[in-house]
Structure 1
């Protein structure tokens, strides 16, 4: 389906709201400590929230590949708004915990619905790039506003509750599954018979790789501040600069993918981003100069976003109904949820240098299967377009 203004607002907005909890975890933990939680207790509660979000996303993914995506999105966003809203306005640790758990369940449904809707849009690379740009832009604005009005339960959780409520009214604008996917035409059935087994292997492969890759990427992010302080003698002002410029780097990467993704193809940029990311993660464990450390982390975070968007595009291209793009962000959250524990534990046991080597190795391990899955996704995307809209003009990225 072509990308219209209403489809963009709904699809990207719902995905961003569902996924934003992961981006706001640092300020949410600070707000919870002000409410009376210990840092460990707040971190545990937010980890539980993210894990529940991931599990809900995976559990509802199948329902969102059809018309059920509207109901899943509405219920999910309603739970997110009510849960975070209760945590924001009722200053009670128990109510806050219950509300956050409810919101975690709801946000997973929103992520699944938004991911499935993304697959229905033409040119998955461009759509994924715009989605990533929207995410980074909104998160940057929210992270700018919260400190201005003061970090607290009302700001950290209330803003996200309001965004979820706003997104709830846009669910009817989401694109439905492509019409050709619901029929039983012989050419479609033959295509499905030829590719179903290979597509399943590719689909489960990209999900597994994305979860493992998320663990490696977010493990470095979890210890980036501590590493910068202890290894590179970077002060708080320097780390604040790293965070802000990293967000800017993500915006640039998202814009580049949305504008030039079709011209660049999919496989070469993905492999390049993964390879550069692996080198930078290894390098981060050895850098002692503050300025150089700042550059390494910012560039790494930029190429991270490029890889992230292309992996999501692969999942969208494998099946236009959203069978694989619906759970893709859920498996990312699974890997991301364990990243803080993994990153801190490994760095304490073997040091930052060895942590960097381990994280770089994780990226290199997933690079090889993702290379082949990416190439397969191009052909699968072309086959689906030929089967569902024969003779119609449908833009695709060039096969690399």
Structure 2
């Protein structure tokens, strides 16, 4: 009995560590693409294509493992993913041959996607998936920010960012001992999932996955070329650019902390819809920046809001299926959008310039905010806890769930709401009211017949 809390804490730590390792490559995408272009003599579009290939490998792993993490076992799948990360990114770091770098990036990307899939499935099964997602984003933002501050002082070339990601995978590996090994841990299908474990909330999940693909693509189209905007259009040096990115990710830490403290008080629709509109304005500002001040303002404001909205999106995806399948599929769709981002950003910037690219991406973000907000507002992935009342908004119930220790009799956070079945009540024939006679009405007293 005393070993349960440490075990639970260790499982959360392992999931957060896996989340950090899996998301580190997308967070380091600007410096990876920039150093591939400078170190290997690749053009901007070619370097962006290599970054996209890396992230395509990550997305393909997520789609392949969406419903198989339980069958393989979280511990085994996580260790396989970390091993692929170490081998793939380590090969890319040690080689200067473009084919080997590309092959290593693909293998490492598949490992990143595997680690992310295990983390997403595990986070979806936590009592409060939003807070667990916020912890993961907090960890990866801090790690990436530290690397952005450190890497410019250690030298150029593509070796360092790839080596940093490979080293992170190696450091995270011991924490997988806290994950279940898969024996006897197969989840019971949720009440609304069907006897055969069919995906619940398929319409809402499909809309959310498609919208988050475009949402991630729009933002990472700018993120993939932000380094070139800072160097060529805003006039920053590489050291100053690394400082701006580090400050931006540091601001992202504050945003994630704020999102974790806010929790579900505002629901999910307001942070997702309003936050995406703010992101669209920041994208427009960063892409049109002509000096260090405007560029830094846009990047810092953007990275403050981005992880906040992402944490709510991941929490929303986790609430659609307690077994974590929608969390993995939506995360993989996000990775696919991230993968397409560098190529889209390079093509748009070459065709319309950086300001024209920003205007296009701003319009796209405003468009996809509508379906994401609709899913957050109307999807029935709200928690069912003692004392909850069936209603459209679910914020009070979510706050209660975040402060209530779940037991075996209480459904997990995000479990589908149970339908209220009407009970047939036999009709009683109406009888005319008659005043009883005095002699026929007697109160029974204790002890009397």
Q: 1:51 aligns with which of 48, 53, 56?
A: 56
Equivalence for 1:192: 193
Are 2:163 and 1:162 equivalent residues in the alignment?
no
Deviates more, 1:31-40 or 1:268-277: 31-40
Residue 359 to residue 394, structure 1, CA distance change in 2 (3 Å): same
Residue 251 of structure 1 deviates from its aligned partner by 0.8
d(CA) in 1 for partners of 2:339, 2:360: 18
The answer to whether the 8 A contact 2:124-2:322 is kept is yes
d(CA) in 2 for partners of 1:228, 1:144: 16
Residue 63 of structure 1 deviates from its aligned partner by 0.6
The answer to whether the 8 A contact 2:125-2:412 is kept is no
Are 2:39 and 1:12 equivalent residues in the alignment?
no
2:149 is paired with a residue whose SS is helix
d(CA) in 2 for partners of 1:281, 1:30: 19
Are 2:330 and 1:325 equivalent residues in the alignment?
no
Residue 98 of structure 1 deviates from its aligned partner by 3.3
Residue 104 to residue 37, structure 1, CA distance change in 2 (3 Å): farther
The answer to whether the 8 A contact 2:33-2:224 is kept is no
The answer to whether the 8 A contact 1:125-1:266 is kept is no
Radius of gyration: which is bigger? 2
Residue 20 of structure 1 deviates from its aligned partner by 1.5
Residue 286 of structure 1 deviates from its aligned partner by 5.0
Equivalence for 1:107: 112
Q: 1:392 aligns with which of 398, 407, 410?
A: 410
Are 2:119 and 1:117 equivalent residues in the alignment?
no
Equivalence for 1:380: 381
Instruction: Write 1 or 2 for the structure with the bigger share of helix.
Output: 1
d(CA) in 2 for partners of 1:345, 1:44: 11
Q: 1:223 aligns with which of 225, 233, 238?
A: 225
- Unpaired runs of 5+ residues, structure 1, are none
Are 2:236 and 1:235 equivalent residues in the alignment?
yes
Equivalence for 2:258: 256
Residue 347 to residue 264, structure 1, CA distance change in 2 (3 Å): same
Higher RCO structure, 1 or 2 (CA under 8 Å, sep 6+): 1
The answer to whether the 8 A contact 2:384-2:411 is kept is no
Residue 130 of structure 1 deviates from its aligned partner by 0.9
Are 2:152 and 1:147 equivalent residues in the alignment?
yes
Matched length: 389
d(CA) in 1 for partners of 2:290, 2:39: 37
d(CA) in 1 for partners of 2:100, 2:353: 39
Q: TM-score, normalised on structure 1?
A: 0.83
The answer to whether the 8 A contact 2:52-2:343 is kept is no
2:381 is paired with a residue whose SS is helix
Residue 285 to residue 259, structure 1, CA distance change in 2 (3 Å): same
The answer to whether the 8 A contact 2:149-2:246 is kept is no
Equivalence for 1:298: 300
Residue 367 to residue 30, structure 1, CA distance change in 2 (3 Å): closer
Residue 275 of structure 1 deviates from its aligned partner by 1.7
2:324 is paired with a residue whose SS is coil
Equivalence for 2:131: 126
